[in-house]
Amino acid sequence: MDTDNTPPPIEEDYAAVERRGQPLVSLEDSPQVSISVMTPPPPVLLAEPFSKPSEPLEGFPEDITPPENFAMVCPYIYRSGMPKKRHFGFLRRLRLRSILTLILEEYPVQSQKFLEHEGIRLFQFGVAGNKEPFADIPENIMTEALCVLMDRRNHPILIHCNKGKHRTGCLVGCLRKLQEWSNTSIFDEYRRYSAPKSRSMDQQFIELFDVRPVLDQIDPENVPDWPTTLYPLQGHAEQ
């Protein structure tokens, strides 16, 4: 089994990303699902994503250690496990505009302070993950999370759960379906990051996930400029 988790290089030459508007995420109550959005309060302004990083927050050491399972998914989208205090210096260099977390628990206080200081918006889609025999990821929550990823106004963005393996792997796998990857390639990527405990239920979830609701909800004007994304959108519009 291929267990090479070496992350692809981070691009040095960043292009300017247009900032327009703020997406909305509804709040739903469910024993296995929680959704919340934390927006930095005024006067903390959203930092320009490709400008010089802000000064480090007092008390946080300036380090460049990436979080567990860190990798670039595609331009301006990254994945990892739960970032900790020692990873904040590295995250600052990504010039993140947003973080999308899939954890159910309340976001750590020190991480919230870091996000407020850096002007990073937090999208929280708390899901329990696919675990037999009862728990599974609701498709509507995955659809909403994908709509956040498919809006370039939220980029650069980091996706994470606790370990960056199963829940993050499911979300990235569904994103790959939007990019028209083959199931073979999707599952190979999933297993690379979930090893040594890959879940068959995760792979089944990805295989059966219907991308049409995502295509119905995303704003075509703010879709990322990925060639593989444009084709399904164009084909969907012609139907």
Catalytic residues: 161
Handedness of CA 61, 63, 68, 74 (dihedral sign): positive
CA atoms within 13 A on the CB side of 35: 15
Q: Which residues are bridge partners to 100 per DSSP? A: 123, 159
CB neighbours of residue 135 within 10 Å: 12
Q: Are 161 and 81 in contact (CB under 8 A)?
A: yes
Cα–Cα dist 223/75, whole Å: 13
Contact at 8 Å (CB) between 136 and 159? no
Classify 98 as helix, strand or coil. Answer: strand
- Residue 157 bridge partners (DSSP): 77, 98
* Residue 235 to residue 205: CA distance in whole angstroms: 24
Q: What angle do CA 52, 152, 130 make, to 5 degrees?
A: 110
Amino acid of residue 16: A
Tell me how far CA of residue 162 lies from CA of 5, 18, 165, 185, in angstroms. Answer: 16, 30, 8, 24
